[in-house]
C-alpha cells in the first residue's frame, strides 16, 4: 500500500513522518527529494540558475533557498516557473525511490508530499492521510518556528490550499492539536484500520 502523507505548513506533518520512520515504515520525503534534485552540478539547478540568475546560487555552488523563497513567495509567475522546472524532476526521483522500496519487498511505503493536493499527485498513492490543526495553532506555530510576523505567516499559509479543503480529500485525518501521544494514538489507529504493515 502506498500512503500519501500530507498537511500544510506548521501542521505537524513532519512530526507524523518521523513517527512512521520510527515504526520502521520506508518514507519517501518530497522535501528531501527537492534538495537532492538541485545538488550542485545537477541539470535542475542549472535550469533554476537560467531562470532566476546567479544571485540565487551561493558561492559554494548550492541553491540559496532563502533568496529564491523571497523571489517566489509574493510572485505567482515566478513560483509557477520554478514549479515547472522542479516538479517533473521531483516526481521522477520520488517514483524511483518508491519503486525501489517496493522491489525490495516493502508492503507499505509512505510518500511524504506537502503539496500533494496542490500538485494533484493523488494518483501516486492508494490512501491519503492529512495532518491537520486549527487555524489558530497553525498561525501561532509558524510565527514561532520561523520567527515571522503575523502578516508574513498568513502569506505563507495562504500560498497553500486550506487545511479544510485537504481534509475533504483525505481518506483519514490526524488532528494534531493536542499532545504527541494523542497524535501517535490517532496514527496507530489509522494504520491498524488500513492494515498497513510496517
pTM (two decimals): 0.84
Distance CA 34, CA 50 (A): 18
72: Cβ–Cβ under 8 A, 6 or more apart, which residues? Answer: 78, 79, 82
12, 131 Cβ separation under 8 angstroms:
yes
- 73 pLDDT higher than 90: no
Yes or no: say if 119 and 113 are a contact pair by the CB < 8 Å rule: yes
Report which of 191, 161, 137 is spatially closest to residue 23, judged by C-alpha positions: 191
Per-residue model confidence (pLDDT) at position 173: 98
Q: Domains in the chain, start-ordered, CATH in brackets?
A: 1-26+108-198 (3.40.50.300), 31-105 (3.40.50.300)
C-alpha cell at 54: 546567479
Q: Tell whether the model's pLDDT for residue 40 goes beyond 90.
A: yes
What DSSP designation does 27 have? E
Residues of the chain with pLDDT > 90: what percent? Answer: 90
Q: Compute how many other C-beta atoms are within 10 angstroms of the C-beta atom of residue 22.
A: 10
Which residue has better confidence, 127 or 160? 127
Amino acid at each position: 500500500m502506498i500512503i500519501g502523507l500530507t498537511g500544510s505548513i506548521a501542521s505537524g506533518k513532519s512530526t507524523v513522518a518521523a513517527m512512521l520512520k520510527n515504526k520502521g515504515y520506508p518514507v519517501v520525503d518530497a522535501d528531501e527529494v527537492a534538495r537532492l534534485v538541485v545538488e550542485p552540478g545537477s541539470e535542475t539547478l542549472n535550469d533554476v540558475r537560467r531562470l532566476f540568475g546567479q544571485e540565487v546560487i551561493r558561492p559554494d555552488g548550492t541553491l540559496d533557498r532563502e533568496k529564491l523563497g523571497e523571489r517566489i513567495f509574493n510572485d505567482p509567475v515566478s513560483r509557477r516557473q520554478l514549479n515547472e522546472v522542479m516538479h517533473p524532476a521531483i516526481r521522477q526521483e520520488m517514483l524511483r525511490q518508491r519503486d525501489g522500496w517496493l522491489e525490495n519487498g516493502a508492503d507499505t511505503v509512505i510518500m511524504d508530499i506537502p503539496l500533494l493536493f496542490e500538485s494533484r499527485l493523488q494518483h501516486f498513492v492508494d490512501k491519503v492521510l492529512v495532518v491537520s490543526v486549527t487555524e489558530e495553532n497553525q498561525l501561532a506555530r509558524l510565527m514561532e518556528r520561523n520567527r515571522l510576523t503575523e502578516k508574513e505567516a498568513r502569506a505563507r499559509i495562504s500560498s497553500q490550499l486550506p487545511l479544510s479543503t485537504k481534509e475533504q480529500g483525505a481518506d483519514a485525518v490526524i488532528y494534531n492539536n493536542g499532545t504527541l501521544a494523542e497524535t501517535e494514538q490517532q496514527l496507530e489507529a489509522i494504520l491498524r484500520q488500513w492494515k498497513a504493515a510496517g
